[in-house]
Structure 1
Amino acid sequence: MEHRALGKSGIQVSEIGFGAWAIGGDAWGPVEDTASLRAMERALELGVNFIDTADVYGNGHSETLVAQVIKNRRDQIVVATKGGLMGHHRDPNQDPVYDRPEKIISAFEDSLRRLETDYIDVYFDHIWWNNPRETEAFLTAFAQLKQEGRVRAVGVSTGDFAYVQAFNQGGMLDVVQLDYSLLNRKAETHILPYCQQHGIGVVVRGPLRMGMLTGKFTAETRFPEGDVRHDWPQEDWYQTQLDQVEQLRVLSSPHRSLGEVALRFVLNHPAVSVAIPGGKTPEQVEQNVRASTRPLFTEDDLQLIESVTAGKPK
């Protein structure tokens, strides 16, 4: 497993991490806790040292599962979690929920209790819309938490370039988490170059496009109730992206899965620190981790990728 600097934070992370959204059990279809724990244990065995979760994943359940695997080896694992969505009204006509630093610190302390730890390595604002009152509240809370030594690095989870800039007042921002993949290259335009220029670490969520880039979905695929992908087959873009995946499938081989290709692609960008694909089983984790050791792309590979994905709808 290769390791990279998480921007200017001083933290070293495995280039493949573990995304713990799915194991919350409320957004990605059925998942068993025992399988989730085995998946995380396998990830750590294979050299993964970065686990990303959030208070809202399974209404705290993901954090409680992460607590079980970091116990007795806390100093070996970089734990990232997020606050800002738990209990949020999500109605633009309502007053902001996280409008004061005390509310954010309270949410942070709830995460500490669930994770059974006294510090967080990376704490993210999980609100991706730019509300000045909430932004200021988070910045104030972040400064306090870092000063107290309870947080090593702070970040924002967003794809909004203006929001990234707002959070980087005075060079405050250590890390950005964003959606980036072969099927969503929007971040290449502004955010990734900005992060590289300012020494901001980049955590890539969605590197497999929520499973699309594993190549296992078809026009006949149906997702269960409660799965965030449930309505995908009815969306106009779904068939378009299935077609793109089919064109990219030529890059896979018996020795390199399409998922490995997708992970290797995001890791090729010099601004990226770590990609966090999810994994419900040890087998999925093993395939994800293999992307860290595969050879880089040939020039022909890169030309094909450009022809299929550049300029496509995001």
Structure 2
Amino acid sequence: MTKASIPRFSGRLHQKLGLGTWQLGGPNIVQGKAMGWGEISEDESLAILTEALKSGIQFIDTADSYGKGLSEKIVGKALLAATYSQDIIVCTKFGNVYLADGSTGQDFSSTHIHASVKASLQRLQREHIDVLLMHSPPDNFDWENYDRAPLEDLISQGLIRQYGVSSKSVYGAKRVMDAGFGSVIEVIYNALDRRVDEILVQHPNGLQYDIIGRVPLGSGFLSDRLLTENPHFGEGDYRSHMADRDKNWMLEHARKLAFLADLKGGLSANALRFTLQNPHISVVIPGARSVVQVQSNVMAANLPLLSDEQIHRIEQSVPSVPDWWKPSN
């Protein structure tokens, strides 16, 4: 399968910087648990998107489930106001659904694909979706028997340009590659979790895929502030529901990278720079909850390259993820 949209960002590194918009969906309470990043006003959301577009960011990542469509609506409104929105690549996702009893489920059926694409196009106020991803299917998803014809049909109709999977884990992403499904994979990659390098980069089908690096700042744990403070997450923040052992591991190992805080830009900027530097990552999508954070991300994308010695020190400081993040078999 030939690549369509994303590869044009693989040249100058600052062009690999995109924007994730999960945070623009607000708290998004599901079954009593926060599945977002807390309250944010529409004015602030639009200001974030406007600053991103003004700064030259050309890749926007969203999903139909972020705020039950709110993130897509705000992205659509911002793009409509931008005079150059035709140059922006929009990636959205489908498959997570809200049921009548307030619970959630997943639906990747042909019927739902077409309905969700139609609804996303309306919210985004666009004629096509550049990248459509299945949103976090189970890692053991049955790719052998999944019918990809509806997605190919959407490409034929000009409604989408590429499709792929936003994977729960790198192990699920490997199964996508094993099956040769689609041409885009979105997966976690940051200085604390570099399993993409170990598991996906050398895959026989690897050249077929563009990889979108998500969570480049380790869910906010790669923060200069947390080098000296303990984290406190509000009730509307999904991180308040993270297991203590995960939070403790993230904090402990982020602090092992404190030497990055001594470099120009600080820890967060250089952690983001680390992800942007990876030649196997096509686009990196940090979120931003303020205009200042957008500006910080853009600044990070224009920092000097980390040296081989500095990258080696990152790898030595955090050699692997915890065992409980790995498959048991």
TM over 0.5: yes
Q: Which residue of 1 aligns with 2:237?
A: 227
Q: Greater CA deviation, 275-284 or 66-75?
A: 66-75
Give the aligned partner of residue 39 of structure 1.
48
Residues 68-147 of structure 1: matches in 2 within 5 Å?
68-71=77-80, 72-87=83-98, 97-98=106-107, 100-129=109-138, 130-132=140-142, 136-137=146-147, 139-147=148-156
Taking structure 1 as reference, are residues 88 and 182 closer, same or farther at Cα in structure 2, changes over 3 Å only?
A: farther
What is the aligned partner in structure 2 of residue 288 from structure 1? 297
- How many positions carry a matched residue from both structures? 300
Query: Cα 1:257–1:150, aligned 2, differ >3 Å: closer, same or farther?
Result: same
**Correspondence list, 1:162-311, <5 A:** 164-166=174-176, 169=179, 171-194=180-203, 197-217=206-226, 220-232=230-242, 235-253=244-262, 255-311=264-320
Q: Distance in 1 between matches of 2:245 and 2:163?
A: 37
- In 1, the alpha carbon distance for the partners of 2:259 and 2:59 equals 31
Distance in 2, matches of 1:195 and 1:37, equals 41
Deviations 1:108-152 (CA, angstroms, capped at 9, x unpaired): 111111111110000001033133289724x22211111111111
Normalised by the length of structure 1, the TM-score is 0.87
Q: From the superposition, tell whether residues 257 and 88 of structure 1 become closer, same or farther in structure 2 (CA, over 3 Å).
A: farther
Alpha-carbon distance in structure 1 between the residues aligned to 2:214 and 2:25:
16
CA distance in 2, matches of 1:135, 1:177: 22
Q: Does 1:24 align with 2:19?
A: no
After superposition, give the CA deviation of every residue in 1:12-57 in whole Å (9 maximum; x if it has no partner): 2331101000011121012121111111111111110000000000
- CA root-mean-square deviation: 2.6
> Judging changes above 3 Å, is the alpha-carbon distance between structure 1 residues 112 and 244 closer, same or farther for their aligned structure 2 residues?
same
CA distance in 2 between counterparts of 1:80 and 1:168 reads 23
One-letter identity of the residue aligned with 1:222: H
Deviations 1:133-182 (Å, cap 9, x if unpaired)? 89724x2221111111111111100124455544675x552210001111
Aligned-partner Cα distance in 1 for 2:241–2:176: 33
8 Å Cα contact 1:156-1:164 kept in structure 2: no
More displaced 10-residue stretch of structure 1: 280-289 or 98-107: 98-107
- TM-score normalised by length of structure 2: 0.83
Contact 1:156 1:167 in 2 (8 A): no
Determine the C-alpha separation between the residues in 2 that align with 1:168 and 1:307: 30
Distance in 2 of aligned mates of 1:38 and 1:196: 40
State whether residues 88 and 97 of structure 1, in contact with CA within 8 Å, keep that contact through their aligned partners in structure 2: no
Q: CA deviation at 1:106?
A: 0.7
User: How many Å apart are 1:266 and its aligned residue?
Assistant: 1.3
- Cα separation, 2, equivalents of 1:50 and 1:40: 11
Aligned letter for 1:80? C
In the alignment, the residues of structure 2 paired with residue 284 and residue 161 of structure 1 have an alpha-carbon distance, to the nearest angstrom, of 31
Amino acid at match of 2:142: P
Matched residues in 2 for 1:247 and 1:112: separation? Answer: 44
Mark the CA change 1:116 to 1:205 in structure 2 (over 3 Å): closer, same or farther. same
Structure 1: tracts of 5 or more residues without a match? 1-6
Q: 1:195 to 1:212 in 2, by over 3 A?
A: farther
C-alpha displacement at 1:295, in angstroms?
A: 1.3
Choose which of 152, 166, 171 in structure 2 pairs with 1:157.
166
